């Protein structure tokens, strides 16, 4: 049941079409049977998807992105889970300042972060290395990992933990057997959102990646700078498909509105 008038519905329809059009056009052009950029009017073809295999740079960049996203999100959680538990459970001096510091990568433009990391890692002799990319990505995905873990830890029923303590559990056992399983949905969603952020980052990574450590967005960007052809649309279509899969999984397990609602209020 809708309470919107016809004018509102027309506005809404145009709005949705404009929002979807650029994404749709990329996916459609990817299926063109022609050798140039065009909408597939004479049937669909997979030739440009097969063509990806002949460009090892794209395939390599894809594996770099996948490894980088998975690893940096995992490392970020190793730091973020204890920090989230401390911020959720304890009232201590400097708590708000710490939380603000941990969320600050959202506020600092990624171009500034890219420059700062380029300067830092070059001085440290790590310029262009995969290790430098991991550390930089840990910083930019940290706020997402922290925030979803924090939400799970804040909503947790503390009496379960107290019961475990009264039964003699403590320290590591308490964390591994009681606390972690209870906050796990938040932790996994935090990992997924962090992964998407890492997988999609161009602005910061473009400063740090060297040939051999180029991520997929960086490779795509450098390719587009020279020429736009159907090959880059089929690569983009694959990226869109991967993100959509992650999105649907996130929505199923956690609720996309919860993930995004947390994201909107402070920006990047």
Contacts of another protein in 105-124 (CB under 8 A): 105, 107-112, 115-120, 123
For another protein, the closer CB: 163 or 256: 256
Check if the beta carbon of residue 117 is closer than 8 Å to that of residue 208. yes
Q: Which of residues 23-62 bind another protein (CB under 8 A)?
A: 23-26, 29, 37
The C-alpha R_g of the chain, in whole angstroms, comes to 22
How many CB atoms neighbour CB 111 within 10 A?
12
Residue 247, CA distances (Å) to 195, 196, 244, 268 in order: 11, 9, 5, 19
For the bound state, the minimum distance from the C-beta of residue 229 to another protein, rounded and expressed in Å, comes to 11
Q: How far apart are CA 161 and CA 235, in angstroms?
A: 48
Q: With binding defined as CB under 8 A, does residue 244 bind another protein?
A: yes
For another protein, the closer CB: 90 or 172: 90
For the bound state, the minimum distance from the C-beta of residue 181 to another protein, rounded and expressed in Å, comes to 19
How many residues interact with another protein (rule CB under 8 A)?
A: 89
Cα(first)–Cα(last) distance of the chain, in Å? 35
Question: Contacting another protein (CB under 8 A), which of 190, 217, 231, 234?
Answer: 217
For another protein, the closer CB: 31 or 117: 117
Q: With binding defined as CB under 8 A, does residue 257 bind another protein?
A: yes
Q: Residue 169 region, left (φ>0) first, then alpha (ψ -120 to 50), else beta?
A: beta
Site pattern 170..199 for another protein (x: CB under 8 A) = --------------------------x--x
Token digits for 20? 């979807």
For the bound state, the minimum distance from the C-beta of residue 33 to another protein, rounded and expressed in Å, comes to 17
Residue ranges in 34-55 assigned as alpha helix (H):
47-52
Check if the beta carbon of residue 52 is closer than 8 Å to that of residue 62. no
For the bound state, the minimum distance from the C-beta of residue 166 to another protein, rounded and expressed in Å, comes to 16
Q: With binding defined as CB under 8 A, does residue 2 bind another protein?
A: yes
Place of tokens 């473009």: 206
Token digits for 95? 């708590």
For another protein, the closer CB: 87 or 152: 87
Token digits for 159? 């009496």
Token digits for 251? 């929505």
Q: Give the single-character DSSP code of 91.
A: -
For another protein, the closer CB: 42 or 245: 245
Q: With binding defined as CB under 8 A, does residue 267 bind another protein?
A: yes
Q: How far apart are CA 260 and CA 108, in angstroms?
A: 19
For another protein, the closer CB: 60 or 110: 110
Segment lying near another protein (by CB under 8 A), choices 9-17, 47-55, 150-158, 183-191 = 9-17
Site pattern 142..161 for another protein (x: CB under 8 A) = x-------------------
């Amino acid at each position: 049941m809708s309470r919107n008038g016809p004018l509102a519905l027309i506005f809404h329809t145009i709005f949705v079409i404009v929002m979807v059009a650029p994404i749709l056009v990329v996916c459609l052009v990817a299926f063109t049977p022609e050798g140039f950029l065009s909408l597939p009017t004479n049937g669909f073809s997979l030739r440009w998807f097969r063509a990806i295999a002949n460009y090892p740079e794209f395939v390599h960049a894809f594996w770099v992105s996948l490894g980088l996203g998975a690893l940096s999100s995992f490392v970020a959680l190793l730091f973020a889970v204890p920090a989230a538990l401390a911020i959720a459970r304890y009232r201590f001096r400097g708590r708000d300042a710490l939380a603000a510091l941990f969320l600050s990568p959202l506020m600092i433009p990624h171009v500034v972060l890219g420059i700062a990391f380029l300067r830092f890692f070059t001085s440290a002799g790590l310029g262009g290395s995969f290790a430098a990319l991991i550390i930089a990505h840990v910083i930019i995905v940290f706020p997402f990992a922290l925030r979803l873990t924090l939400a799970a830890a804040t909503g947790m029923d503390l009496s379960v933990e107290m019961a475990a303590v009264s039964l003699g559990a403590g320290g590591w056992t308490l964390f591994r057997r009681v606390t972690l399983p209870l906050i796990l949905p938040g932790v996994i969603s935090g990992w997924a959102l962090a992964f998407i952020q890492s997988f999609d980052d161009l602005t910061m990574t473009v400063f740090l990646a060297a040939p051999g450590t180029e991520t997929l967005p960086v490779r795509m960007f450098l390719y587009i700078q020279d020429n736009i052809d159907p090959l880059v649309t089929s690569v983009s279509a694959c990226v869109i498909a991967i993100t959509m899969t992650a999105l649907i999984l996130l929505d199923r397990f956690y609720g996309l509105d919860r993930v995004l609602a947390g994201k909107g209020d402070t920006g990047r």
